[in-house]
Amino acid sequence: MSGQLISEVLEKDATGEIAHIYAEIRRLWGVPNVTTIVRHVASVPGVLEWYWSIIRPANACGDFQESALGMVDTLATEPLQPLPELALRAMGVDVSAKAQIQDVYGAYDRNNRPNLLFVSVLQRLLRGAAGKREYEPQRTNWAPPETARPLVRMVQADEMTPETLALAQAVGSWGFPEGSAFLPGVYRHLANWPAYLAHVGALMWPYLETGEIQRASTSIVAAADAVADELVSRLPSAPEGLPAPTPEQAAEMSALLSTMTQKIPEMIVICKLLGDALPGEEKGT
């Protein structure tokens, strides 16, 4: 699949209030980076600032994160066969690289549930869900989790070989509207090891073709809907001076957000499958 990659403000390019919000998300979610959907929302003028002003109180007290991490999912699919250590070595993945890959899967496993709630709540606010005067926290004395250690760098699209980019974009964009493309952060990290990324693409392709990944993620989608409905009913309005997105902005974002409510659960399943398939401790040769 080819198409125009969705717009985003990369962390290295963020300035001013966007950079401040990125830093708050990293701190409050305990994650080493913000993900593609957050970076995309930041690219729509004024929207991330407006949205964060509404959900920040729920993040500051931990209600948002704990609700997201408590969303139960049942992975209704068989695990992958464990990958032999020798196969990893043949793909250019040594012990250090394997640990980096494990960190990627672990970080995105933690990050994707808050990301799914981030999308689900934004959808409802864009449809005009009313806000209350102020937010009433359900938690006290909450502290943010320790931030995970930094991940291996993301390989950007223009740094990948055409073949690697085509594969990552095809697998990442599965289910996206014609003419648009999505390059998930997970695959950008894995592109540091092109042979391993090719292995990932080959493994996931039949799961995506048959729809098994989507079927396996239906429970997390339902859980996110329920949590988002409850949370939105308690969120405050944005402060004066932060206007809501225009109807044109809301319409432009709605199709992508709808797709992301399927894509993020898909990535939760994929990261779980791939992480569990990595070999364990060295067993010798």
In this predicted model, what pLDDT tens digit does every residue of 4-42 receive, in sequence order? 788 999 999 999 999 999 999 999 999 989 988 999 999
Instruction: Flag whether 242 is in a domain.
Output: yes
Does residue 284 register a pLDDT over 50?
no
Tokens of 68: 């997201």
Tokens of 54: 């509404």
- C-beta separation of 220 from 271 below 8 A: no
In the prediction, which pLDDT does 285 show? 38
Indicate the pTM of the whole model. 0.87
Is residue 151 a part of any domain in this protein? yes
Distance, in Å, from the CA atom of 43 to the CA atom of 213, rounded to the nearest integer, reads 29
Q: Which residue would you say has higher pLDDT here, 181 or 97? A: 97
Measured CA to CA, the distance from residue 145 to residue 75 in angstroms comes to 25
User: Would residue 122 count as lying in a domain?
Assistant: yes
With respect to residue 65, please indicate whether it lies within any of the assigned structural domains: yes
**Is there a domain that residue 245 lies in?**
yes
Look at residue 133 and tell me whether its pLDDT is greater than 90: no
For the segment 47-67, the average pLDDT, to the nearest whole number, is 97
15 in any annotated domain: yes
Is position 86 within any domain?
Answer: yes
Confidence bin at 251 (pLDDT 50/70/90): very high
Note whether residue 43 is domain-resident: yes
> Quick check: 102 pLDDT over 50?
yes
Domain count, the chain: 1
* Cα 43 from Cα 7, distance rounded (Å): 6
Mean pLDDT of the chain: 91
172: tokens are 């990442």
Residue-range definition of the domain harbouring residue 235: 7-136+147-275
